Amino acid sequence: MPTLQLSEIWIYPIKSLAGLSLPQATLTSRGLLYDRRWMLVDETGRFLSQRTLPQLALFEVRMEEDSLIITHRESPSNPLRIPLVAEGGEALQVEVWDDTMSAQGGFPEADAWFSAILGRNCRLVYQPESTHRTVDPKYARQGEITSFSDGYPFLLIGQASLDDLNTRLETPVPMNRFRPNLVVTGGQPYEEEGWENFRIGEQEFWGVKPCARCVLTTIDQQTAEKGKEPLRTLSKYRNWNNKILFGQNLLPATDLYTLRVGDTVDILTSKPGPLQ
């Protein structure tokens, strides 16, 4: 069998904006360092995402020392700079799906910048260390927490799974349609959905459940144009209990390490996935 290896590491510092590819990343209890610690919300505190605002894909993000630099592809000469970490500030309640949690606001320059480009009122908020948003207790092992992610601190996808999907599509799609944190090469298509317990380098993980996919996967991350694929094709062979599955949500073991592209993946225990 070919060796399983970690081939890509991604973080998304601001939820639903463009991601950053990294050669290595440090784990924290709520996910990869800096992953989804910032988020845009509407006037009620409800999270904004590409599901309703596909144009969020056009915001590019890069890290520069202790700051995030955000640009919009249609006006790259007008960047926004915000801190990577923003402890302190105005306390408010925000919502991600069914979860309500404390966040920090008080970034008027950023609020005005995003609102002007998007043509609607919105606010930028940060998740402080004091906020402990727990994952669904149905799947938690020991009260794990997550950032502003949809529900879990890590998402892993096998490159073989995307390769198999692309053989079924008229126009192949890139991995960024699925916004993973970790991409693994080697192995068989969709086998990652059955990994129960495994290590990447020194870091141990637990597979939580296959990830149910939504319309965000149909948005071209370069143009923000919305189509029907790959969700239409996935629905024909990856449908389980009315959910379209692609990738695996993960929880970390208690001890936290640094992940590096090229790390070997060792499967400790596995079971057939729901569609295997």
Task: Give 250-270 pLDDT, tens digit per residue.
Answer: 999 999 999 999 999 999 999
What percentage of the chain carries pLDDT values higher than 70? 99
The pair of structure tokens assigned to 35 is 């992953």
Distance CA 268, CA 265 (A): 10
The vertex-204 CA angle with 201 and 210, nearest 5°, equals 110
Distance CA 197, CA 11 (A): 22
Task: Give 117-170 pLDDT, tens digit per residue.
Answer: 999 999 999 999 999 999 999 999 999 999 999 999 999 999 999 999 999 999
90 half-sphere exposure, CB direction, 13 A CA radius: 11
Instruction: For 141, list phi and psi in degrees, rounded to 5.
Output: -105, -40
- Predicted TM-score (pTM) above 0.85: yes
Task: Give 22-44 pLDDT, tens digit per residue.
Answer: 999 999 999 999 999 999 999 99
